[in-house]
Amino acid sequence: MNTQLSQATKNPVAIITGAGQGMGKSVAHTLAQQGLQIAVNDIHFDAANATVAELHASNFNAIAVAGDVTNKTDVQNMMQQTIDYFGAIHILINNAGILYPSKVIDISEEEWDRVIDVNLKGTFLCSQAVLPAMQQNSWGRIVNFSSTAGKNISTVGGAHYTAAKAGILGFTRHLAKEVAQHNITVNSVCPGLIDTDMVRNTIDPGHQKAYANSFPISRLGKPEEVADLVAFLCSDKAAYITGASLDINGGDLMI
Ligand SMILES: NC(=O)c1ccc[n+]([C@@H]2O[C@H](COP(=O)([O-])OP(=O)(O)OC[C@H]3O[C@@H](n4cnc5c(N)ncnc54)[C@H](O)[C@@H]3O)[C@@H](O)[C@H]2O)c1
């Protein structure tokens, strides 16, 4: 085990939501490489299984726990499956998220609810569900995926996405204060434009290039770069960081 990660246990366990692809999958690989056992959640079970197959191929210990982060029963089941298999949960990465580029005038009530639910309610439900296990261990790490959108406005998403990601920052601060006494830290990461399917499916290559050229570091971010930041926040080296939001955006937003 990498000694930078969790001296709380010899076999730390992390659950990562939405880890069937993109940054969640990258976080799964990075944390596994650092000695963690991994529960891979995704709403698409095939995608979660594919990530687990890759981890198994590298001899890492991992299981797939399917479920929709907006559904309380699914969330309770996936946490229970993780505890039944590994015996504990030490780290939660709230990564699952969705985005639609709609203008406010066009957003249906259903679309508004779904974007808020997956990004914000899912973060709440998963955090609430892991707290008993973390409090029992007197140690925990929660890392929430906000976005540059949470501090400014979304580059490609609609107002529902911006509102949800801003909400995650408030939730992070509030929960961090509530659980600090249990040696649990809660932080957010705020990625800029990162090269994943979420971006590839929303922005055509020409516009991606134009966005990249507008950043001080003139390229999109890599999922592995965000995963390294997440891994740092999970480590004992980040023990004094809580309630924070860490930017990783190539200089796109400097505040
Ligand atoms: N890509 C970017 O530029 C960018 C920038 C800032 C923040 N983010 C945020 O980072 C996170 C990861 O983004 P990504 O680019 O890797 O996205 P992605 O679309 O590539 O992957 C998201 C994953 O979440 C899963 N998912 C969706 N709804 C779910 C649900 N209800 N329950 C469980 N899983 C669900 C999807 O199946 C998918 O595997 C998201 O929260 C996103 O909003 C992305």
What residues contact residue 59 under an 8 Å CB cut-off, 6+ apart? none
Predicted local distance difference test score (pLDDT) of residue 8: 55
Name the residue with higher pLDDT: 213 or 5: 213
Q: How confident is the model at residue 109 (pLDDT cuts 50, 70, 90)?
A: very high
Does residue 202 surpass a pLDDT of 80? yes
Global pTM?
0.97
Pocket flag, ligand 1, residue 252 (CB < 6 Å): no
Pocket flag, ligand 1, residue 18 (CB < 6 Å): yes
CA 181–ligand 1 middle distance (angstroms)? 30
Q: Please give the mean pLDDT across all residues of the chain.
A: 96
Mean pLDDT of 209-238: 97
What's the length of the chain?
Answer: 255
Predicted local distance difference test score (pLDDT) of residue 1: 40
Pocket flag, ligand 1, residue 93 (CB < 6 Å): no
What residues contact residue 34 under an 8 Å CB cut-off, 6+ apart? 1, 2, 4, 5, 231, 235
Q: Locate the ligand 1 atom nearest the alpha carbon of residue 68 and give its number.
A: 32
Pocket flag, ligand 1, residue 82 (CB < 6 Å): no
Q: Could you tell me if 41 and 15 are in contact, meaning their C-beta atoms sit under 8 angstroms apart?
A: yes
Q: Could you tell me if 208 and 199 are in contact, meaning their C-beta atoms sit under 8 angstroms apart?
A: yes
Q: How confident is the model at residue 9 (pLDDT cuts 50, 70, 90)?
A: low
- 3-state secondary structure (DSSP) of residue 45: helix
Predicted local distance difference test score (pLDDT) of residue 11: 83
Best CATH choice for the domain 13-192+223-239 from the list 3.40.50.620, 3.40.50.970, 3.40.50.720, 3.65.10.10: 3.40.50.720
**220 secondary structure, DSSP code:** P
Which residue is closest in CA terms to ligand 1's atom 21?
Answer: 22
Which residues are identified as catalytic?
Answer: 161
**How do the domains of the chain map onto residue ranges?**
13-192+223-239
Which residue is closest in CA terms to ligand 1's atom 42?
Answer: 97
Q: Could you tell me if 195 and 221 are in contact, meaning their C-beta atoms sit under 8 angstroms apart?
A: yes
Site to probe by mutation for ligand 1, drawn from 15, 23, 188 as the one with most ligand atoms within 8 Å of Cβ, is: 23
Mean pLDDT of 155-177: 97
Pocket flag, ligand 1, residue 211 (CB < 6 Å): no
Site to probe by mutation for ligand 1, drawn from 196, 203, 220 as the one with most ligand atoms within 8 Å of Cβ, is: 196
Q: Could you tell me if 69 and 95 are in contact, meaning their C-beta atoms sit under 8 angstroms apart?
A: no
Q: Locate the ligand 1 atom nearest the alpha carbon of residue 221 and give its number.
A: 3
- 3-state secondary structure (DSSP) of residue 91: strand
